[in-house]
Amino acid sequence: MQTSASRPHPVVAPTRRRLPLAWLGVAPFAAFAGLFLILPTMFIVLGAFRNAAGEATLENIANLFQPSILAAYWISIRISLASALLGCLIGFAVAAAVTLGGLPGWIRGPLLTFSGVASNFAGVPLAFAFLATLGRLGLVTVLLKDWFGINIYAMGFNLLSFTGLTLTYLFFQIPLMILIVTPALDGLKREWREAAEILGASGFQYWRIVALPILWPTLLGTLALLFANSFGAVATAYALTGSSLSIVPILLFAQIRGDVLQDPHLGYALAFGMIVVTGIANFLYVWLRTRSERWMK
């Protein structure tokens, strides 16, 4: 009689670890990110710390503190901050009106569709659209002058200026804000408002004490994202203002092409500075977005 200890154990064939097929769907994205995001970023970072001879140097970084370059960074930061703040305020008002304001339900679909298109509408087409609308001979400019006697350019408006570029950026900043904040507004639970009303809170008190503290991380994170989105925009600014407005993307474009000082490595340093600024803004967005999602679960 064989005991359990003397019985032969079945031989288990070694299993091979197979890569899940689901990873094949991520492979194109990983290849795209590596070729067009990670490798170019590393090339720019390395170029910022090398001279024309390929030697390591900090001279390019030191040149970023020139008064003209610092002024370009300051103008870019001001434009990005202004367009981000206005985009957040206007976009939040629009999203709140559609989501919580009791407007007809059919408005939401077309609005989100338009926001999805407009948030990606930039570059030369956007610049041409604003020149044809608010340029010196634009449609709106001519109509205001002929019908109402209002000459906006005589009143100090200039599309090729700080105000004009900020207004142009709002065309894609506001829709982006609407797309991001609408799901957050949908995440506000009805029970929270009902509980606040039962306890005697007014509508203003509900927003001040309950809703806005919950939405605050989302709002701050979206502000950081809009800032980064505006800070890195180059095609729209270059097509609209050319070299009349010295912001960092235009200055970078000129340095890379060699039109000014023929110093592409200074252009790498400018791009490195932009990477640092936008990287900080995107980090704040991800961090604040993660915090806000805890309340929405």
- pLDDT at residue 218 in the model: 86
How confident is the model over 173-214, as pLDDT tens digits?
Answer: 999 999 999 998 988 888 888 888 888 888 888 888 888 888
How confident is the model over 31-90, as pLDDT tens digits?
Answer: 888 888 889 889 888 888 988 777 888 888 898 898 988 998 999 999 999 999 999 999
Q: What is the mean pLDDT of the chain?
A: 84
- pLDDT at residue 28 in the model: 85
Which of 263 and 193 is assigned the larger pLDDT?
193
Q: 271: buried, middle or exposed (CB in 10 Å: 19+, 13-18, 0-12)?
A: buried
Is residue 101, in this structure, part of any structural domain at all? yes
Lowest mean pLDDT among 7-16, 79-88, 104-113, 285-294: 7-16
CB 47, CB 265: distance < 8 Å: yes
CB 213, CB 288: distance < 8 Å: no
Is residue 287, in this structure, part of any structural domain at all? yes
When divided into structural domains, the chain yields a total of 1
Is residue 235, in this structure, part of any structural domain at all? yes
**C-alpha to C-alpha distance for 46 and 269, rounded to whole angstroms:** 9
Is residue 40, in this structure, part of any structural domain at all? yes
DSSP reduced 3-state for 156? coil
How confident is the model over 4-25, as pLDDT tens digits?
Answer: 555 555 655 555 666 567 777 7
- pLDDT at residue 91 in the model: 95
Q: In which domain, by residue range, is 282 found? A: 34-123+159-296
**C-alpha to C-alpha distance for 222 and 87, rounded to whole angstroms:** 10
**Four-residue CA torsion sign, 130, 132, 138, 140:** negative
Count of beta carbons in the 10 Å neighbourhood of residue 207: 17
- pLDDT at residue 293 in the model: 67
pLDDT at 124 over 80: yes
Average pLDDT on 119-126 reads 85
DSSP reduced 3-state for 56? strand
CATH of the domain at 242: 1.10.3720.10
| Type of residue at 134 | L
Helix, strand, coil shares, percent, the chain, to 5: 70, 0, 30
Count of beta carbons in the 10 Å neighbourhood of residue 74: 12
Is residue 25, in this structure, part of any structural domain at all? no
Is residue 19, in this structure, part of any structural domain at all? no
Model pTM score: 0.83
pLDDT at 137 over 70: yes
Is residue 9, in this structure, part of any structural domain at all? no
DSSP reduced 3-state for 50? strand
Which pLDDT band holds residue 125 (cuts at 50, 70, 90)? confident
Is residue 132, in this structure, part of any structural domain at all? no
**C-alpha to C-alpha distance for 90 and 169, rounded to whole angstroms:** 13
- pLDDT at residue 52 in the model: 79
**C-alpha to C-alpha distance for 184 and 161, rounded to whole angstroms:** 34
